[in-house]
Structure 1
Amino acid sequence: MRKLIDIKKTLVAAATVLLTATAFAQTTGGEVEVLHWWTSGGEARAAAALKQQMQQKGHTWRDFAVAGGGGDNAMTVLKSRVMAGNPPSAAQIKGPSLQEWGELGVLTNLNDVARAGNWDNLVPRVIGDIMKHNGNWIAVPVNVHRVNWLWTNPEVFRRAGARVPTNWDEFFVAAEALRRAGVIPLAHGGQNWQDFTLFESVALGVGGTDFYRSAQVQLDQTALRSATMTRVLETFRRVKAHTDRNAPGRDWNLATAMVIRGEAGMQLMGDWAKGEFIAAGRVPGRDFGCVAAPGTANAFTFNVDSFAMFRLRNEANTRAQRDLANAILSPEFQEVFNLNKGSIPVRLNMNLERFDECARMSSRDFVETARRGTLVPSIAHGMAVRSAASGAMQDVVSQFWNDDRVTVQNAQERLARAAQTR
């Protein structure tokens, strides 16, 4: 009998050890390696909020930050990693590029996480559809950016006796007033993606949403070769005259800093710029102004940051990856992240009480333009067309911006041809 009791005790002890070991294995944190290009002040703080949330869950965060606001450098690094069979847990990929990665079969299926988190009801369908490949969730949206913003320094405008422009004719009047006051009218950074960001706001403001959708989303040859596109390119060239000679190579956040310091009066940039104003202690409505880019008050060009999740072999890292996906759409992170980033939550029915007037305006306009059908994807930020066509068009626009010898007619013809790139 004693022997039988001893055997039972041994079995119980062994089972206890096994259960403990299993529980430990299930709760032991994994590692999440996250590729992103959030390296400026406000953006870095936003990334740090996600890192902290993952660490609280017992996971290790391995930062894979690649400088370069448009993400071009990051994509080059990512491709080499994936080709080598060593992808990160998550990478900042968005828009049609998600479909390209999905077709390669390197992304993991997140349907189980999405069902558990009720993502289909938490995220607007127009955005949820972008996050899916063949109907399966492969990425998690983080936020919604409005791209067609004009940022201003109210004190500089007061000193110059200028009015904040609501259309492109008024923009040039304000720019001349700022120049006479000894201020750079428009802060700009001479990088391809920044040129294209400015170009799409000009196209939207000059041509309207129907033209924008035809030319920049559907890549319609008639629209690209139209008289309206001629006016867009002519206006775009006029804008350059109101930037400074030191713009080439300047990062976007350094251009924002020029407006913050009062060296420049305006900047045309997405609402990630607001994060820089906030990080510098500036108050919206008092120290800086936010209005729609000239001529675009009734439209909204959107840019949605998202993380694609790659297939992993390590079980603990896969669990950590699932926790990362859940964390991104949690109300806590959505609030903290977007307060720092300058964007608005992608999660519906969020309380925006802590958000500033620029964010609340953005949220209202997002809902209203979606209702009116004037909510359009940003081609400059990879939301509208696949990378081959947008990259070719971006090159044409930057060459036109940087070389005054390129005529409007020549640029327009090259832009139409570039849109046919596959």
Structure 2
Amino acid sequence: MLKLSQLALAMAAVVSAGAIQAGEVEVLHYWTSGGEAKSVAELKKIMQAKGHVWKDFAVAGGGGDNAATVLKSRVVSGNPPAAAQIKGPAIQEWAAEGVLANLDATAKAEKWDSLLPKAVADGMKYKGNYVAAPVNVHRVNWVWANPEVLKKAGVAGMPKTYDEFFAAADKIKAAGLIAVAHGGQNWQDFTTFESVVLGVGGAKFYSDALIKLDQKALTSPTMQKSLETFRKIKGYTDAASAGRDWNLTTAMVMQGKAGFQFMGDWAKGEFLAAGKVPGKDFLCAAAPGTATSYTYNIDSFAMFKLKSADAQKAQGDLAAAIMGTEFQEIFNLNKGSIPVRLNMNLDKFDDCAKTSAKDFVATAKTGSLVPSIAHGMAVSPAAEGAIKDAVSQFWNDDKISVAAAMKNIASAAQTK
């Protein structure tokens, strides 16, 4: 995080900066794939209709890591954007530095407290004040499949357990196709890993190991089994996965080159952007063993302190637009996620989304609704980054034993 001395200089510069045009709203985000870009364009339209100037600041790659690096340099130099895509505990870290704007006036006028689940609302606040606006709810623990590939390989339906999954993967491999489409980025490795931990150990174990970072859980036989399962999945991926972006990985499933992909429901946004029909051109199912659990990732925009009254008005309008029914519907239909706003009409949404919405509510009641560690929702960015690196090292190096990986992950979990 930024040093306080740097932030003091940054804030002084923010107060004196006059670079923001009247009604201009500069938005830093990392939505650059097909389905994501389409979604951002809708928000831009809504803001332009309100008379504001939209300044797009897209930073591609890294699952948001690149954008976070750019944001830090912008804030330190005293030139923050009006809004930036930030989520999870990172929201509170930025707020603690005193650089985020208070959105309570907008939140009160728009009745956010009654429109958001408490767990979500709490994540958007710092010391009781709203500092960020949530956009959506993504379910992370999905597996996507190409039904033609499954049919060609003689696989009947989506696997519900890892035994069924590996049996299906063997058939796809025997048919001369790639069983598991996977990209070569550490957050993609981590996305698969957390779904495996959830499927092997269940929601309580997932919570103990990957949210509470309990050392006993991290070095347990259940974690050992999770790592063994994770490594077995690696054997069904193709050798050309290194450096491949997630959306290109989704395209492999879309084009019938691969059978399965472990990925959050933003993958569905890619299928839909390509005109594919759920249930016909692609299949969705909870990752093996996780049908009664739900790992969530919530996209959100934190608003930074700006001096100009016009810029502040634009910020308030942006926050209201993000939570408005028009954007919640259009955005989530494009992005593959579900509205974060409660009691939305889901008639236009597909069966994958309806299943997601139903499971979101159900798992919240049973205690098996858990934040995604791979997507910045569960632990501090420092601990998340260290564990992510340890997981990827294990994935990419077959010489690292399961016992050594377990030790590395447990050690990484102690990073402050």
Q: TM-score, normalised by structure 2?
A: 0.94
Q: Which residue of 2 aligns with 1:91?
A: 84
Q: Which residue of 2 aligns with 1:56?
A: 49
Deviation at 1:317, TM superposition (A): 1.0
Deviation at 1:339, TM superposition (A): 0.3
Segments of 5+ residues of structure 1 without an aligned counterpart are 1-27
Alignment of 1:75 with 2:68, yes or no, is yes
1:188 corresponds to which of 177, 182, 203: 182
2:39 corresponds to which of 46, 51, 54: 46
| 2:161 maps to amino acid | N
**Which digits, 9 at most, give the CA deviation of each residue in 1:114-156, with x for residues without a partner?**
1111000011101000000011100000000000000000111
Q: 1:391 to 1:69 in 2, by over 3 A?
A: closer
Q: Distance in 1 between matches of 2:233 and 2:272?
A: 27
| 2:148 maps to amino acid | E
Q: What does residue range 258-407 of structure 1 map to in structure 2 within 5 Å?
A: 258-407=252-401
**Which digits, 9 at most, give the CA deviation of each residue in 1:34-89, with x for residues without a partner?**
01010000000000000000000000000000001510000000000000010000
Q: Distance in 2 between matches of 1:74 and 1:265?
A: 31
| 2:140 maps to amino acid | V
**Which digits, 9 at most, give the CA deviation of each residue in 1:384-411, with x for residues without a partner?**
0001111000000000000111111111
Deviation at 1:29, TM superposition (A): 5.7
Q: Which residue of 1 aligns with 2:27?
A: 34
Q: Distance in 2 between matches of 1:81 and 1:129?
A: 27
Q: Distance in 1 between matches of 2:285 and 2:110?
A: 35
1:239 corresponds to which of 227, 233, 241: 233
| 1:50 maps to amino acid | L
**Which digits, 9 at most, give the CA deviation of each residue in 1:198-255, with x for residues without a partner?**
0000000011111000000000010001010000111111110000001010000000
Q: Distance in 2 between matches of 1:132 and 1:341?
A: 24
Matched positions, count = 395
Q: Secondary structure at the match of 1:258?
A: helix
| 2:168 maps to amino acid | A
Q: Which residue of 1 aligns with 2:153?
A: 160
Q: What does residue range 116-195 of structure 1 map to in structure 2 within 5 Å?
A: 116-163=109-156, 164-195=158-189
RMSD: 0.8
Do 2:62 and 2:185's aligned partners in 1 also have CA atoms closer than 8 Å?
no
Q: Distance in 1 between matches of 2:370 and 2:213?
A: 14
Most deviating of 340-349 and 313-322? 313-322
Do 2:338 and 2:353's aligned partners in 1 also have CA atoms closer than 8 Å?
yes
Do 2:184 and 2:241's aligned partners in 1 also have CA atoms closer than 8 Å?
yes
| 1:72 maps to amino acid | D
Q: TM-score, normalised by structure 1?
A: 0.93
1:111 corresponds to which of 100, 104, 114: 104
Query: Higher Cα Rg: structure 1 or 2?
Result: 1
Q: Distance in 1 between matches of 2:112 and 2:381?
A: 27
Q: Distance in 2 between matches of 1:390 and 1:205?
A: 20
Alignment of 1:204 with 2:198, yes or no, is yes
Q: 1:69 to 1:421 in 2, by over 3 A?
A: closer
Q: Distance in 1 between matches of 2:159 and 2:349?
A: 25
Q: Distance in 1 between matches of 2:325 and 2:205?
A: 37
**Which digits, 9 at most, give the CA deviation of each residue in 1:271-329, with x for residues without a partner?**
00000000111100111001000110000000000000000011111111110000000
